[in-house]
Amino acid sequence: MSQGVTIWFTGLSGSGKSTIARILEKRLRQVGRKVEVLDGDVIRTNLSKGLGFSKEDRDINIKRIGFVCHLLTRNDVVAIASAISPYREVRNYNRSLIGNFVEVYAKCALDECVKRDVKGLYKKAMAGEIKGFTGVDDPYEEPLHPEVVCETDQETAEQSAERVWAKLIELGYLNL
């Protein structure tokens, strides 16, 4: 029997979290694992509609994602969360709640995130048109001890996914 685990991707907007998560999802399905991806943008549209971007609202949003991951994980599903989740305290709260938790830091230089930004959100934030944008005028607190650091401006998404895959094997969440 395969135990559940939450793989929690954190990083700036445009750092590659969702891309790596989808690669990992595909690989996990290929080996017969039950997988659910909780993407931050999708969750905001469905589960957290009406929340803004104040610290309190961001914390509520991330705790909601964490609660869903907790339910999935305890039912032997691999839950993959892909959300900026800028504050350490709430990520640590979710780690404590869930238990089987692998934090993946999609580390990417801000200038590279800006280059990748197809929606132009960074440009608007830097021009003062968007207030409270993580990494511009709102903080992003890097993880202190993530299980995996993916240098997404220095490696391909496939290389990053392989790094996460290897850690899941090392920690005993994948028995191949």
Stretch among 89-98, 119-128, 159-168 having the lowest mean pLDDT: 119-128
Q: Confirm if 81 and 65 have CB atoms less than 8 A apart.
A: yes
Stretch among 3-7, 16-20, 47-51, 162-166 having the lowest mean pLDDT: 47-51
Residue 143 φ/ψ region, left for φ over 0, alpha for ψ in the -120 to 50 degree band, beta for the rest:
beta
Is 15 catalytic? The answer is no
pTM of this structure: 0.94
pLDDT of residue 44: 81
Tens of pLDDT, residue by residue over 18-70, are 999 999 999 999 999 999 999 988 888 887 778 888 889 999 999 999 999 99
Segments making up each domain of the chain, as ranges: 5-170
Catalytic entry in 18, 82, 85, 160 = 85
Please give the CATH topology (third level) of the domain spanning 5-170.
Rossmann fold (3.40.50)
